[in-house]
A and B are shown apart, each in its own frame.
Chain A
């Protein structure tokens, strides 16, 4: 169990690095990139919960989170490009 805490600490520091870039990023694409990466790091975090609790619905949460994060990234990139969402 100590090992899981060690891994969770590393991933937590990674999440705070992404939050630093979301707050400090000079332009809007910097923030969008950091949001995309944060969504992928959180998927790994949820899997640690699946190991400790031994429940399988945490992995369902990971799948849903990765797909929703992907759709959000595509919407942000369309918005940055200056196009409408139905083109």
Chain B
């Protein structure tokens, strides 16, 4: 095995374990927001590492450039989607876990709800 194969396989292994533990957080955590932050951060990093490992293992320019482009897309889009999903789930009325200690979005959410009420 050449050196780039070994480096790429190490990257892919670490990324796959990040994916696994992120999905374990999706099963184990008690709340929508806890699940969202655990799963989004771990799975984004894990999939980006798998894509970079694919670029390193194959060492083919057509595959490597597209894999790095896909990694850039995921880094841009995954946190944006998670932010929109957290905002939407709070405004849809799903509350926090009863042991949560801090809610900085509460006043702003009431303003947004009042604004939507005026428009209707």
Contacts and interface: CB of A to CB of B under 8 A. Distances in A.
Interface of A: 3, 7, 10-11, 13-15, 17-18, 20-21, 27-30, 32-34, 36-37, 40-41, 43-44, 47-48, 50-51, 54, 56, 59-60, 62-63, 66-67, 70, 73-74, 76-83
Contacts of A28: 92
Main secondary structure of the interface of B (DSSP, over half): helix
Interface residues of B, number: 50
A29 B89 contact: yes
A82 B16 contact: no
B74 interface: yes
A29 B34 CA distance: 12
Interface in B1-55: 9, 12-13, 15-17, 19-20, 22-24, 26-27, 32, 35-36, 39-40, 43-44, 46-47, 50-51, 54
Interface of B: 9, 12-13, 15-17, 19-20, 22-24, 26-27, 32, 35-36, 39-40, 43-44, 46-47, 50-51, 54, 57-58, 60, 62-63, 66-67, 69-70, 73-74, 77-78, 80-82, 84-85, 87-89, 91-92, 94, 116
